[in-house]
Amino acid sequence: MKRMPIVVCGLLLTAAASQAQSTGSSPDVLSGSWIGRAAPDGGPADSGTLTLNLTFDGRTVTGSGGPSGATPNGVVTGGVFDAKTGALKLEVAIQDDGGTTKAILDGMLFDDAYFGRMTLGPGTGRFHFVKAPVAAGASGPAASGSAAVLAKGFEEVSGWVTKSAEMVPADKYSYRPADTVRTFGQQIAHTADGYAYYCGSAKAGQGVEWTDSVEKAGGDKAAIIAKLKAATAACAAVYATAGNAPPLMANIAHSNLHYGNIVTYMRMLGLKPPSS
């Protein structure tokens, strides 16, 4: 399947937030950097970390985005937003080596997060973006509260993941909706590996490489949960010390992305997700 251009999701957020802010919120809430991830259905691969730089003038939003160091290649051409429900549907024109591709993104705007489903040609996928805190050296309420916002975001999603891991029976850890996707146990383990990578990057600043150590180790429910809780505690300590913000934001986005998978698995198993 054709790789989904990551800027699509970012520009979706741009238009979504512009509509939301037009109801009376301060333009400063939107302007700035946003960090997130996108992933196609039918496989474990995702886009990597995405960065957006947005500007809102009170009526319209301009912006650019894509993978770190890349040239933006998408433009929002239309959108429908319901301020009462937060529902947002957009069309985005994507420029790549093959020409222009039309993408349709359909999701929800909630607080400082935007998440939902996307369609690109014959492919489908999912995305999640969160707003980055104010850059170091800035002043005011947004700057002073950014570390607390990050910590709260991780506490929320990691709590859902841990609770889900505890709720699913041990004999269902090998469950997978299709042969091409991870098992439930692998989803939990992969999320734990994400904690180690992103929080390690935030703490060390650089030089941390992704490893699938928890996922590759496998094990039963008890073993996976033990490693998940250890990774969660280590990550929470980094959030408490207000480490490097971009990887901490990316960790929240990545965790939410895979919690979306976990929710689907639980529904198919007849279980109610903890966030419901």
Q: What is the pLDDT along the chain (276 residues), one digit of tens a residue?
A: 344 443 434 443 334 344 443 334 443 556 667 677 777 776 555 666 666 666 656 556 566 666 655 666 777 776 666 656 656 676 777 777 878 878 777 777 666 666 778 887 788 887 777 766 654 444 443 333 567 778 888 999 999 999 999 999 999 999 999 998 999 999 999 999 999 999 998 887 667 888 999 999 999 999 999 999 999 999 999 998 876 887 888 888 889 888 988 999 999 999 999 988
Q: What angle do CA 53, 54, 56 make, to 5 degrees?
A: 160
- Partnered with residue 105 across adjacent β-strands are 90, 118
Q: What is the pLDDT of residue 12?
A: 38
What order of strands is seen across the sheet that includes strand 74-82? Answer: 61-67, 50-56, 32-40, 123-131, 113-120, 99-110, 87-96, 74-82
Q: What is the pLDDT of residue 43?
A: 58
Q: What is the pLDDT of residue 140?
A: 40
Q: What is the pLDDT of residue 52?
A: 64
Q: What is the pLDDT of residue 112?
A: 64
Q: What is the pLDDT of residue 224?
A: 97
Spatial neighbors of 270 by CB under 8 A, at least 6 apart, are none
Are the CB atoms for 168 and 269 separated by under 8 Å? yes
Q: What is the pLDDT of residue 105?
A: 72
